[in-house]
Amino acid sequence: MKIASFNINGIRARIATLLRWLSETKPDVVILQEIKSTDETFPKNEIEQLGYNIQTHGQKSFNGVAILSLFSIEDLKTGLDGDPEDLQARWIEAEINTLRICGLYLPNGNPCPGPKFDYKIEWMNRFYQRAVDIINSEQPTVILGDFNVIPQREDAADPELWTNDALYCYETRSQFRKLINLGFTDALRALHPTEKVFTFWDYQKGSWQKNNGIRIDHILLSPQASDRLKSCQIDSYMRGEDRPSDHAPIWIELNTDH
């Protein structure tokens, strides 16, 4: 079973790019982030023609997450508990083929310090509480998306550039480490522990051409899912395509003979 995450950076601007990638790579489940569209304006028809079921948690012009699945999508939930006033569309989860699959678009948090960083940490605290519940459920679970977290020095081409950034500052990395310490596995680092690989290259300053990237898109596996992990790769070539997102897809393959 192939499960992917892709920050599409505007679904309507990049629908052709997405359709081409879906047709070529044929993932079973995809979590999209930054769809930047309402549920009503999401281009479902084109994607459904490829055989995907679709659920969206959209927001006009900003944020937004979606699930595309070749399997049925059951028990859909959107948003994190703990702050009824938070209307930003950043979390979606469902049960798919016996797996709990959770997609997220974690707040960027810049400038740091400041109100946006405070919101990031508050959101991560609510995310942590949901992660505790997931671990306690013992259901095989995949949490994936744009975490806006650079976990360690190896995850940036030039870590010194990010020292005071909300993606890499100590408090952000500590919050991410708390998630790992619950028992989740960082799928890419489980299989590629020291490889310098990235999922994001800024549009500015020739970042793609210089491979001046960072790894901020992650796939975390509960213990029951990590036992099934076969592979984890980044489709970095997508960043060099016409009209690319500034992110590349990351995906895993899980054994399903459990």
Model pLDDT for residues 43-79, shown as the tens digit of each residue: 999 999 999 999 999 999 999 999 999 999 999 999 9
Which uninterrupted H or E stretch holds 57? strand 53-57
pTM of the full predicted structure?
Answer: 0.97
Which uninterrupted H or E stretch holds 119? helix 115-137
From the candidates 146, 165, 186, 235, which is the catalytic residue? 146
Q: Using 50, 70 and 90 to split pLDDT, how confident is the model at 258? A: low
From the candidates 28, 52, 105, 217, which is the catalytic residue? 105
Q: Using 50, 70 and 90 to split pLDDT, how confident is the model at 256? A: confident
Which uninterrupted H or E stretch holds 19? helix 15-25
Residues linked to residue 105 through DSSP beta bridges, in sequence order:
146
Domains of the chain are 2-254 (3.60.10.10)
Residue 146 annotated to the active site:
yes
Residue 105 annotated to the active site:
yes
